C-alpha cells in the first residue's frame, strides 16, 4: 500500500528498535503487512468522508502521523514480552480518537477530496424477474 508512509519512515519512527521488532530481511513481509494494516485502518475511517487514498500534501502529513502511530503499536505487538510502551499505546489511542473525529466530520482534512455522494448501503433500483401477472385489470373487471 504505502500511500502515507514507507519502510524508511517506519524505520525512522521505530529508531533503534526496528531490528528487535522485525528480523529483516526474513520478516520484511511482516513489516509490509503492518504498514498495510495501519494505512487500511486510516483509510477505513477517512473513507467515510473523503476519497481514498488521500493525495493532498497537507492532509497526507496528518494521515502519515496517524498511520505511523498505529503502525508503531502493531510493531511493538510483534516484539518479545507482553507490554507496549505507554507512550506508544497513548499515541495509537489518540490516533484512533482523531480518526473517529475525521470520520464524523469533527476534524476536517483541508485539501482532501470530499465525497460528494455518501453511499446509502442499498441499491438505487431493484430488478425482479417474475411470472406474468395472474390477475390483471382486464381479468378482474366486473368483480
Q: What is the pTM of this model?
A: 0.78
Check residue 70 and report its DSSP letter.
Answer: H
Q: How far is CA 15 from the centre of its chain?
A: 25
End-to-end C-alpha distance for the chain, whole angstroms? 67
The pLDDT of residue 133:
81
The pLDDT value given to residue 25: 83
User: pLDDT tens digits, residue range 92-130?
Assistant: 999 999 999 999 999 999 999 998 755 555 556 667 788
Amino acid at each position: 500500500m504505502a500511500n502515507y508512509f514507507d519502510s524508511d519512515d517506519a524505520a525512522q519512527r521505530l529508531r533503534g528498535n526496528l531490528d528487535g521488532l522485525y528480523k529483516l530481511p526474513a520478516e520484511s513481509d511482516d513489516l509490509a503487512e503492518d504498514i498495510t494494516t495501519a494505512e487500511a485502518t486510516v483509510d477505513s475511517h477517512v473513507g467515510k468522508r473523503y476519497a481514498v487514498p488521500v493525495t493532498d500534501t497537507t492532509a497526507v502529513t496528518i494521515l502519515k502521523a496517524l498511520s505511523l502511530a498505529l503502525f508503531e503499536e502493531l510493531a511493538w505487538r510483534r516484539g518479545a514480552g507482553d507490554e507496549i510502551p505507554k507512550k506508544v499505546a497513548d499515541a495509537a489511542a489518540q490516533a484512533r480518537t482523531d480518526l473517529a473525529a475525521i470520520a464524523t466530520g469533527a476534524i476536517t482534512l483541508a485539501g482532501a477530496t470530499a465525497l460528494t455522494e455518501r453511499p446509502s448501503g442499498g441499491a438505487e433500483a431493484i430488478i425482479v424477474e417474475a411470472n406474468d401477472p395472474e390477475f390483471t385489470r382486464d381479468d378482474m373487471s366486473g368483480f
